[in-house]
Structure formats: structure tokens, C-alpha cells
A and B are shown apart, each in its own frame.
Chain A
């Protein structure tokens, strides 16, 4: 009886203890702060920012703007010679022997479309979850950033996988235009839109971005690594140059390039040329001349054989896959004088010359340049030359870029017989100024001229199938509506 009573009391006491403290679920069921499911990605405003950073990170993929895409743009043309013969570091791009199954063809396509899908998912997600942010302006900013990145992605795809706009006014096949988020199986088949259609989408995205991006950010670093109003305007000048719409280039450029020297953007981030061009390519890489670059640090590197320094620096700072072609622009001592400040970007090692624009050690923490003010100025000058002929503003812009590095030569109107001669001089200045930044072959293609050859690699004529890249095998096998390039 005694034991029975004790058990009852014990039992009642236990139950009494448990009831009020019954399962404080919120203390037991915690959601891990850095491990959450797909449904939770837009749950707090912080995550919107993290996701936006993720979009830039996708664009910074080593296969894309983290390095290789910039290299491809240059090595296809005549300025570089291949030293290592390595199929994994651009050999087939350099000598135009790519096939549908080549690494570069597949990896770049994968990286760019991964970025595009990330942007699509983000845009749809921000739209659907605006209430969480409770700040419509900020929501528009985020969507504008995603649309800017998406525009850069599609523009880049067109540069390599489609015929230039000039060929048939954009009627040739472009790339599949994916604008909706893809998160599951199915929906693989999508035909290629035309070059004109994809370009229209690029411009629509950039227009939205220019209208909705913030004017500037709080720090110089953010101004260089995140998109702002002037980034969209600047990139639009590049896109419109590619479309041959020179009058529109001037309209856009006027927003950030004044009518006369000193050339400095009047609104938004005050972009202007640096007095010493080397500052643009030296730590901390955040001068106002850089409009948009991809940043790297010791903890966030481009990846094996992706960094610009890996390709262009000889050992031990890099692998030196490509040296400069002495028959290219560096051999032109009349226009690219020995005293030109840009000669410091060349490095003589024995009998070879290497590009020294991305010199930061073996880790390759150089920022990868996407767009800078010098290019916008040259775009403007070339557009003016091609519409208004020998115009003083174009000559002033040319002199500003040239004179920044080599002040003894000052161009005057009498130097040029006509607009075409001025445009030719501007193109030559582009070769000197933008050497190694991924422009040479694209400049040839937008004007529909042959891609110059080098060493034992022949010139590629515009009707050669190798003028553009093949569509990757992976896409052709899975997307039944995607037609291959001839």
C-alpha cells in the first residue's frame, strides 16, 4: 500500500512537471541559419541581397567572365601566340579547330546559361516576394541588377555562338531565349531565336536596368563590382556598337560622356580616365575608370587555369599559355610608340614578349575587367566617326585616350581624309588600349571582316564555319528544336 501510494504521487508529480513545459517547440525545432530549403530563399531581406551576390558570382564563373571568356575574345585573333598547346586552355579556340564536343564550347555555354537561369529564378522570386522586402525601390534595384546580368549573358552568347548582327541584319539564328525559371525536368525543347530577337531582349533588359538601378553605392568597391545606372548605359553603348546603330550609341553615350573635355560622367558614378592607365590594373582596382569588374581575393580565386594571369603571365606568376605576337599591334612602333605608357603592359622574357596587364602573383587575384570608361569613349568616338565623319569631338575623345598614355602625338582633323580613316585610327587605338581585355575578335566580327590569322593559323573569312563557334553537343542532344551551326 505504501509503495502504491508512493508510485501514484511520483506519477502525478511527473505529469504535473511536464505539462506547463510541454515541448517548447520553438527552442527544439530550430531552422539552421545557413542550410535551408528552396522554399525559404526569399524569407528575409538579407537573403535577397545574398542571392543578388550569387548572381554576380555566377557571372564570375571561371568559364565566363572570371577569365576564360575574356581570353577567348582575344586569342581568336592575331595578337597572341599559343605557347603550351594545351587543349584545356584554349588551344582549339586559338587555332579554330573547335568541334561541338570541345571543352570551351560546352563549358562556356553551361556557365552562361546557369547564370541566366539564376537571374530568371531571382527575378521571378523578387516579384513574387516583394512584400518581404517592403521596399519597392529596393525590389526594383534587385530586379534591375538581375536583368543587367542577364543582358550581359545573352550579349556574350551572341558574340561567339551566332553570326554577327551585320550579317543579314540580325536574321540569322541566335541562341535559345530562356526567360522563365527552370527548376525541374521537362521543357527542354526550345528553338533558337534570331540574333535580332535576342538583341532586342538584351536592350530591353538594359533599358529597364538603366531606369531602375541605383545611381551609386556607398563605397568605391561596390561601384565597381555591382551594377549601377552608368554600368547599364555603358554596356548599352557596347551592345549598340555591335548592332551597328551608331546614332543610338551617341545618344546613350551622351548621358555619361560630355560634349568636350574634360571627359567625366556628370551623373551617377563620376567615371573618368585615370592619369596613369596602370592604376586601373593595380590593387585595389577600384578607380572610377573601371565601370564594372569581377573581383577576386585570396579566399575567392578564379579557379585553376581560369585567371587572366594564368594565361598571360609566364612562369612562375602564371602558366604563360599565350605570348604576344610580335607581328601584332606590339610590332607597330609608329602608332604604339616605345615611350607609350601602355608599353609597360608588355614584358620581354628572352625571345618572347608577354602581356603584363594582370601581374598579381600566382594566385591571380587581378580583377577581371568587364567594361571601363576608355572603351565607352572609344565607342563614342567610333560611332561619331561613322556617322558624322571627321568630327572634332571624336578626335578629342581619341586624343584623350591616346594622350593619357602617350602625350606627344596629338591628332588633328587634317590627319584624316574621311570618317573611315578616323574610324580606322580609332580601331587601332582600341587594339592598343584594350589589349588583353577580350575585344579583338569581337571588333572584327561586328564589322563583318575576317578574323586575322597568326603564326601557322590562317585568317578566318566571314563565310568560314569557324567564324563562329558550334552549338555544344549537350544542347543538340537534349534540345530537339535547337539547330546546329553549319
Chain B
């Protein structure tokens, strides 16, 4: 802890290292064993969270009727899995029993995204390009004549299908590596204004909602499907549209096209209040009266293209965090109130 400017600002710097041992996680079992849920809860190992915390705050300005107090804190967090059971074999996390986009692997952050890498669209034919584990690029066509393969190399030779098991790559942590908050209170006479922000980042989110909005089964699409590849639009950002195609968009198995950074700054709360002066109150009945208005989730600044980078379709699952699959974002709420003291 420290003090600045004659203790008008106070702060602290902390280093933390939190070792969690004997973690109980569902250890996946081979489905051919026929165990219900295909997992057994066992103490699968340990992981560690470590990082630095910085905090500083105090009264920044105080002159006459105006004062400004502020507090800011910033934390770094590095999560690493140290040990898993069964010879440190990976544990994958499925989303809603459908796609599997997360993995728990020793040496990585818990629940990291595990997807098949893609490299855009082939301008010659509008097919999505996937990169297999050995580096070869393959492309996918949803409808082919009898006897031909849907998966081909870029020069047309038959290739094996891409899949998460064969070609998955870890694309980043789903837990933020830095986060913090900034709280400000301004008072002017009887008015008070409180602005509270928080921010986090360094994590990645799998935007499954985006995958769904480019799904070519009988589903609605996002308007950016208008920029699909056609003979006249060879630079399109969406693959050639084929009815029934749920592979090119990342629904059948997750692809790196849908992995996005989850950095954000959110103005979480703005509250403006006015305390009626004592002279206006009838002291015998009312001791104090304050009216206020506040907005919760006022503004969100982020590059994440989905609704909200803080959503998690699997709730607080510890095996499949950071996945957004048609999840409802945080709402904005307006509150007006009166605080009465008797």
C-alpha cells in the first residue's frame, strides 16, 4: 500500500498466486464404456491463477462546492492448467450437447477455444479454405456429383475431411487476462453523479451466434450474406451459398472464422442524484430526501461483433466458458427512485 500527494491518493499493488489443487472436474470417458454422461467426476488435477493487482484512488479535486473522488483498479490474470488426470489427457467441453469448442489442456488456460483454422474464401470458387494439422489447405463444397468428395485440396485432389479431433488448434483463452474497474463520484452542492466503468480483455469468445446467422439450412441469415461470393463478387467474405450447408459457417464443427477478441469497456452504471436541502424538509417528519435516476449498462465499447462479449451460453460451466450461441445480452435498465429517511 502506498500514499501520494500527502495521502490524498492511496493505492496498493499486490501480487497473487492461487494454486487450486484436487480440482473436481468431469473426466471424459470413452463413450463405448457406456457410462452415463460419458464422464466420471474425479479429482483431475490442479491449475494456478497468478497476476498483479493495482489500485489507486482518492479525492482528485476538492474546491468549493465541487469534489471529484475516483478509484481505479487493474488486475492481470494468468490461468494455467498444471496437471490433469489420466496421463494429462485433454478434456473437451461441449456446448448444449452439440458443438465442442473448448478444451482443457495442460499448459493452457482452462477452457481455451479449440477450433479448426480457416483461411478465408477461395476466390476461384467461393469455397471456404480450412488448414489441416499438417499445413495442407483444403476446401469444402457442400454439393458434389456422385463419386466425388466434398473435401478437396486447392487443386482439386480428394482430401480427407477436416475435423476438430484431427485438425483442432488452440486459439486463445476464454478467461480474461486483464480486467478492472473505474469508479468516479462527482458532487456539486446537493447534486451527486456517480459513473462506474469496468473493462476486461485478453480473452476470446467463440461467436456461435454468428455461425448460426450464416447457416444455409432453412434459417434466417444476417444481412452480410449479401456480400457472399458470386461470379461477379469474387472478393466476397461469405462462402458461395449452397442450400443445406451447415459446415462452411462453423455450425457442424467450430472454425477460427468465428473466434473473436472479447475486449470491452462498459460504462456499467451512471447515477445522478439530488439531495433536497434540509431547509426544504419538514424536519419533524422527514429527515432526508434524495431523488435519483440511474442507467445500468449505459454504454458498451467493444469490437466484438456479437451482442455482448460477456455472455456465456453455458453459464458458469468450467469446461465450456466463453461461447456465445444465441445468448441474450445484458439488458439496459433505467431506474428512477426516491430515497426517503424518516
Q: Which residues of chain A have a CB within 8 Å of any CB of chain B?
A: 84-87, 91, 95, 97, 99-103, 106, 109-110, 113-118, 120, 175-176, 178, 182-190, 453, 456, 458-461, 464-465, 472-479, 482, 484, 486
Across-interface contacts of B164 in A (CB, < 8 A) = 101, 473
Cα A118 to Cα B247 in complex, Å, equals: 35
1/0 per residue, CB under 8 A from A, across B214-253: the answer is: 0001100000000000000000000000001011000111
- Given known contacts A476-B165, A479-B30, A95 and B244 CB-to-CB distance under 8 angstroms: yes
Asked if residues B32 and A97 are in contact (CB atoms below 8 Å), the reply is: no
Interface presence of B31 (CB below 8 A): yes
Contact A114–B86 (Cβ < 8 Å): no
How many residues of B are counted as interface, with CB atoms below 8 angstroms from the partner's CB atoms?
A: 44
In-complex Cβ contact of A101 among B34, B36, B160, B163 (8 A) = B163
**Once the chains are docked, how many angstroms separate the CA of A114 from the CA of B36?**
7
CB proximity of A82 to chain B, nearest CB, Å: 9
Given contacts A85-B218, A184-B40, contact A477 B29 (CB under 8 A): no
Asked if A186 and B217 make an inter-chain contact with CB atoms under 8 angstroms apart, the answer reads no
Q: Among the listed B32, B86, B247, which residue makes an inter-chain contact with A185, where contact means beta carbons less than 8 Å apart?
A: B86
Extra inter-chain contacts (16) besides given A97-B247, A176-B30, A188-B86, CB under 8 Å: A99-B247, A103-B97, A106-B31, A109-B32, A113-B32, A113-B33, A114-B34, A178-B33, A178-B34, A184-B40, A190-B30, A456-B143, A461-B147, A473-B100, A473-B165, A478-B28
A453 to B147, CA, bound (A): 12
Query: How distant is A197 from chain B, measured CB to nearest CB, in Å?
Result: 15
Query: A464 contacts B163, CB within 8 Å?
Result: no
**Which residue from chain A places its CB closest to the CB of B216 in the assembled complex?**
A85
B106 to A: closest C-beta gap in Å: 15
Nearest chain A CB to B88 CB, angstrom units: 13
Report B-chain residues with C-beta under 8 Å of the C-beta of A472: 31
The answer, yes or no, to whether B38 is at the interface (CB within 8 Å) is yes
- Tell me which residues across on chain B come within 8 A of A118, comparing CB atoms: 34
B residues 14-46 in Cβ contact with A at 8 Å = 27-36, 38, 40, 42
Give the Cβ gap from B62 to chain A, nearest Cβ, in Å.
61
B90 CB–A CB distance under 8 Å: yes
Is B146 in contact with A182, judged by CB distance below 8 angstroms? no
For A477, give its contact among B27, B28, B42, B253 (CB under 8 Å). B28
* Least Cβ–Cβ distance between B240 and chain A, in angstroms: 16
Tell me if B133 is interfacial: C-beta within 8 Å of chain A.
Answer: no
Known: A91-B217, A101-B253. A187 touches B147 (CB 8 A): no
Main secondary structure of the interface of B (DSSP, over half): loop
For the complex, is B145 an interface residue (Cβ under 8 Å from A)?
Answer: yes
Residues of A within 8 A of B28 (CB): 474, 477-478
Indicate if the CB atoms of A109 and B40 lie closer than 8 Å. Answer: no
Nearest B-chain residue to A82, judged by Cβ: B244
| B92 touches which of A97, A477, A482 (Cβ 8 Å) | A477
CA distance A114 to B39 in the complex (A): 12
Which of A453, A458, A459, A460 is the most central at the interface, judged by chain B CB atoms within 10 Å of its CB? A458
Could you tell me if A97 and B142 are in contact, using CB atoms closer than 8 angstroms?
yes
Which residues of B sit under 8 angstroms from A464, Cβ to Cβ? 147
Kindly supply a per-residue 1/0 record for chain B positions 117-156, scoring 1 wherever the CB is within 8 Å of any chain A CB and 0 otherwise: 0000000000000000000000000111111011000000
Which 8 pairs across A and B sit closest by C-beta, in order of nearness? Answer: A117-B34, A458-B146, A182-B33, A479-B30, A113-B34, A478-B30, A188-B30, A85-B218
Q: CB of B60 within 8 A of chain A? A: no
On whether the beta carbons of B31 and A99 are closer than 8 Å, the reply is: no
A187 to B35, CA, bound (A): 12
CB-CB contacts below 8 Å: B241-289 with A = 244, 246-247, 251-253
- Chain B residues contacting A84 (CB-CB under 8 Å) are 218
Contact at B31–A113, with CB atoms within 8 Å?
yes
Which residues of B does A touch, CB under 8 Å?
A: 27-36, 38, 40, 42, 85-86, 89-90, 92, 97-100, 142-147, 149-150, 160-161, 163-166, 217-218, 244, 246-247, 251-253
**Judging by beta carbons under 8 Å apart, are B163 and A473 in contact?**
yes
CB distance from A20 to the nearest CB of B (A): 46
B163, chain A: closest CB distance, angstroms = 5
Q: Which of A91, A101, A187, A460 has the most CB of B within 10 A?
A: A101
B271 to chain A, nearest CB (A): 46
Given the known inter-chain contacts A91-B217, A476-B165, please indicate yes or no for A115 contacting B30, CB distance below 8 A.
no
When the two chains form the complex, which single residue of A114, A116, A176, A477 contacts B90, counting CB atoms closer than 8 Å?
Answer: A477
Give the residue among B35, B40, B97, B142 with the most A Cβ atoms within 10 A: B35
Shortest CB-to-CB span from B38 to chain A, Å, is 6
CA distance A176 to B30 in the complex (A): 10
Cα-based distance from A254 to B247 in the complex (angstroms): 50
Can you give 25 contacting A-B residue pairs, CB < 8 Å? A85-B217, A91-B244, A97-B244, A101-B163, A109-B31, A117-B33, A117-B35, A178-B32, A182-B29, A188-B29, A190-B30, A461-B146, A464-B147, A472-B31, A473-B164, A474-B30, A475-B30, A475-B31, A477-B92, A478-B29, A478-B31, A479-B32, A482-B32, A484-B166, A486-B160
For the complex, give the distance between the alpha carbons of A298 and B32 in Å.
Answer: 32
CA distance in complex: A456, B142 (Å): 12
Whole-angstrom CA separation of A91 from B142 in the bound complex: 13
Known: A176-B32, A178-B32, A472-B31. A185 touches B147 (CB 8 A): no
Q: How far is the CB of A80 from chain B (nearest CB, A)?
A: 16
**What is the distance, in angstroms, from A474's C-beta to the closest C-beta of chain B?**
5
CB <8 Å contact, A99 and B163: yes
Residues of chain A lying within 8 A (CB to CB) of residue B90: 477
Q: Would you call B147 and A182 a contact (CB within 8 A)?
A: no
Q: Is the CB of A116 within 8 A of B29?
A: no
Q: What chain B residues lie within 8 Å of A189 (beta carbons)?
A: 30
